Structure 1
Amino acid sequence: MFDDVLARNAGEAEFQQAVHEVMESLTPLADKHSHYTQWSILQRICEPERQIIFRVPWVDDSGEVRVNRGFRVEFNSALGPYKGGLRFHPSVNLSIVKFLGFEQIFKNALTGMPIGGGKGGSDFDPKGCSDVEVMRFCQSFMTELYRHVGEYTDVPAGDIGVGGREIGYLFGQYKRITNRYESGVLTGKGLSWGGSQVRTEATGYGTVFFAQEMLAAEGSSLDGMRVVVSGTGNVALYAVEKVHQLGGKVVAVSDSSGYVVDEQGVDLEVLQEIKEVRRGRVSEYVDKMGDRARFVSNGSIWDVPCDVALPCATQNELDEAGAKSLVANGVRLVAEGANMPTTPAGTAILRDAGVLFAPGKAANAGGVATSALEMQQNASRDSWSFAQTEERLQEIMRSIHETCVTQAEAVGRPGDYVTGANLAAYIKVADAMVAQGVI
């Protein structure tokens, strides 16, 4: 079956990797419930319902016309309208968007919310662009995308390179073109115009909540744990915040230039000022903190000894060498805050060593879960408090954890979060697809 996926999606390495990981988990179904692995269901799940690629022309501040490529892959709507973020980064291509959309199907299913899976973005790089250039690009991007989205059709959100600024420009252009204030068409909006409390923090918070549940199941907690968090984007920063709130100590963070180690615990306020206010590099943390911190430009953050590792940067960042280093240094738990940040070889090493390992489709589902809560608030013209929304997020992450544990135990693989997450999500989506006929 996988050979057919390879042939139909030649050259799309990231998408092939995501499909292979799910297919590997379906063996227990093939043995006991073969109707779930019939090729007709698998073939449909692996084939997007719709793939949209379009040109995005815009004018930079010097008057030059630039052209980028836009994508939206509407992968599966068996459980609800397509839901998934937009990524603006030079690495974005069809394979990346398809892998993210495929993962989103199962991640969204695990949340228990009525949302399908989709993903999109562009090879546009907002770094180094002025606010006006970003606005022009977003307006051009939405001028094409608007005809494909809607609160009952497809609801994009943010991802790498798409934060509150970009969502604002995209929403403004959608409103301008359609002449409708359709709050539910995008999530990640500003709090004063339809956004939700905790949405900014949700993915990072959710990852830490999930890790805490994993440790609790083993009779432990994050209190006193040494934690390493890769990345310094939105997910990483709020993972750092929640770890500290729960008693852990984050001793290292990173960006594409290298990583910093602070044995006293990373100072979140200083890091946020560097990354969110000045959009600087992580190396500047040492300039602020002096001798208590050190910067490493040519090494791996996974060489830093820790109890808990949270890869929160990008796909395939934690490879075989990194996994071996973590195991050698006694890591107890790895929870993926990013989408597929661990390579297959890295995952195998961690699981073979008995490290508790949570795949991204379970551990980082807090972001899309809170997006669905934002949609719920928009639909009811309501606004919830921070405490109410965070409590609901924690309940969802606890429920996802219980679902993964229960499903893994049901097939004789206790403690296998990868199998538990993949099987529980796949069964839910497959059941819905069968119920709705061959569509």
Structure 2
Amino acid sequence: MSNLPTEPEFEQAVHEIASTIEPFLESHPEYRRAFEIVQIPERIIQFRVTWERDDGTVAVNRGFRVQFNSALGPYKGGLRLHPTVNLSVLKFLGFEQIFKNALTGLSMGGGKGGSDFDPKGKSDAEIRRFCYAFMLELSRHIGADTDVPAGDIGTGGREIGFLFGAYKRYQNEFAGILTGKGEDWGGSFIRPEATGYGLIYYVTEMLRDLDNTDWVGKRVIISGSGNVAQYAALKVIELGGKVLTFSDSTGSLVATDGEGFTPADIAAIADIKLRRQPLTAFQHSGQFEWHEGKRPWTLVEKADVALPSATQNEVNAEEAKALIAAGVRYVAEGSNMGCEQEAIDIFEESRKGRESLHETEGVCYYAPGKAANCGGVAVSGLEMGQNSQRLKWSHTEVDARLKDIMVTAYTNCRETGKTYVKDSAVPSLVAGANIAGFVKVARAMREQGDWW
């Protein structure tokens, strides 16, 4: 394992995987060398981005692209625009992306990129000028068969449009070099919904397989209020569950009437977020309570499912204990590395030593983001396939393919966890996800001569 104290997020991601693939490495020690190698990106590109503000002054930001691993296909991963972006964050995200993409079963390597540029408070013209300046350098390093970025935090449909337009102008070609494009110019149906829908499809399999139940009547705690949280919530409601919370960086909104949010409420929240306003701007008739500066995990007395869907490290050890005390039986990450390692350890400890799947008291099943939220990149991969064929599949076909990918990912995680971790009748989905993803990538690397 690398020792880089200036890269805490990346070190956390490496440790999380290292701690769970050990049962596999004990029986296949030759793969230890592969794990050392896979931690080092194939290429890191860092560059300066200068752009003009509306007042005519020049601003400068840092741009990055971490091309981490191409063993399974072109580098694939989002572009994050946020003041917290640095190499540690992007290496953590790119490292996770390698194994997440492997779990989709599609031909995609792992990468991540972005800038410390903050779109909040910027005009459309300023964002367009930044995107054109950013793509001026990035366009030298990406391509439909090389590296296909996508959106991420701060990079939505507007930004993807500007970035694609810039690439087209600089390279004089119309190519599938970004995913998340508009539906009229190479985009796929269900791409905005994909991560949220895929998360719910994954948890649906958990419910069915582990407890022989479904979403009807389930009380669900969701963090975040962006695309992932919104579409996960809509799918939960569609399937009969109740969404009790949303949150953002300023605090949490909690339903007090027992019925939770409606699709109309979620549409209003989506409009607020589109206008880059905080959740405090949400208008209601008193059926919701605002908790300034708090995350939702300790604010609900009774719940069944928790879906961290905001950002990394948003559930700590004390909050994990609070979720279990509230009766939460399923935690699945819509965000990347949504739980701190100590929280994961608590969830995993709750399932150890169980002699039956039907033991319910105090058991909390945990699904890591690399598996549970891989639906977003899965539909990005489907968009790449459609672009390659110059085809456009229907909404129904894309949704069916997404559901099949998530069911297959769950089965792969469950069976791999059962094979290598024998400490309970309850399978370790986190170990299963990490081992399954790592083994697929490591085998491809070996066959291509990256290690032997």
Match of 1:48 in 2: 41
CA distance in 1: counterparts of 2:113 and 2:21, whole angstroms: 27
Q: 2:408 aligns with which of 399, 408, 411?
A: 399
The alpha carbon displacement at 1:349 in A equals: 1.3
Provide the TM-score with structure 1 as the length reference: 0.96
The alpha carbon displacement at 1:322 in A equals: 1.1
**1:30 maps onto 2:25 in alignment:** yes
CA distance in 2: counterparts of 1:82 and 1:400, whole angstroms: 20
Task: Give the counterpart letter for 1:31 in structure 2.
Answer: E
The alpha carbon displacement at 1:240 in A equals: 0.6
Match of 1:300 in 2: 295
Q: 3-state SS of the aligned residue for 2:286?
A: helix
**1:330 maps onto 2:337 in alignment:** no
Task: Give the counterpart letter for 1:43 in structure 2.
Answer: E
Superposition pairs for residues 276-355 of structure 1, below 5 Å?
Answer: 276-285=273-282, 288-303=283-298, 304=300, 305-353=302-350, 354-355=363-364
CA distance in 2: counterparts of 1:278 and 1:146, whole angstroms: 29
The alpha carbon displacement at 1:271 in A equals: 3.4
CA distance in 1: counterparts of 2:414 and 2:224, whole angstroms: 28
Structure 1 stretch displaced more, 338-347 or 276-285: 276-285
CA distance in 1: counterparts of 2:295 and 2:152, whole angstroms: 24
**Native 8 Å contact 1:271 1:282 kept in 2:** no
CA distance in 2: counterparts of 1:272 and 1:150, whole angstroms: 36
Alpha-carbon displacement from aligned partner over 1:198-241 (angstroms, at most 9, x marks no partner) = 00000011011111110100211111100011000111111111
CA distance in 1: counterparts of 2:295 and 2:180, whole angstroms: 32
**1:369 maps onto 2:378 in alignment:** yes
Match of 2:90 in 1: 97
CA distance in 2: counterparts of 1:348 and 1:10, whole angstroms: 22
Match of 2:189 in 1: 197
**1:147 maps onto 2:144 in alignment:** no
Match of 1:213 in 2: 205
The alpha carbon displacement at 1:275 in A equals: 2.8
CA distance in 1: counterparts of 2:262 and 2:51, whole angstroms: 39
Match of 2:245 in 1: 252
Q: 3-state SS of the aligned residue for 2:17?
A: helix
CA 1:438–1:277 in structure 2 vs 1: closer, same or farther (change >3 Å)? closer
**1:59 maps onto 2:52 in alignment:** yes
Question: Pairwise CA RMSD of aligned residues?
Answer: 1.1
Match of 2:262 in 1: 267
Match of 1:418 in 2: 430
Number of positions where the alignment pairs a residue of Structure 1 with one of Structure 2: 429
Q: 3-state SS of the aligned residue for 1:119?
A: strand
**Native 8 Å contact 1:196 1:374 kept in 2:** yes
Identity %: 51
CA distance in 2: counterparts of 1:51 and 1:272, whole angstroms: 39
Match of 2:447 in 1: 435
CA distance in 2: counterparts of 1:276 and 1:192, whole angstroms: 24
Q: 3-state SS of the aligned residue for 1:67?
A: strand
CA distance in 2: counterparts of 1:406 and 1:281, whole angstroms: 42
**Ranges in structure 1 where 5+ consecutive residues have no aligned partner:** none
The alpha carbon displacement at 1:300 in A equals: 2.8
The structure that is helix-richer by fraction is 1
CA distance in 1: counterparts of 2:291 and 2:421, whole angstroms: 43
Q: 3-state SS of the aligned residue for 2:307?
A: strand
**1:20 maps onto 2:15 in alignment:** yes
CA distance in 2: counterparts of 1:251 and 1:430, whole angstroms: 41
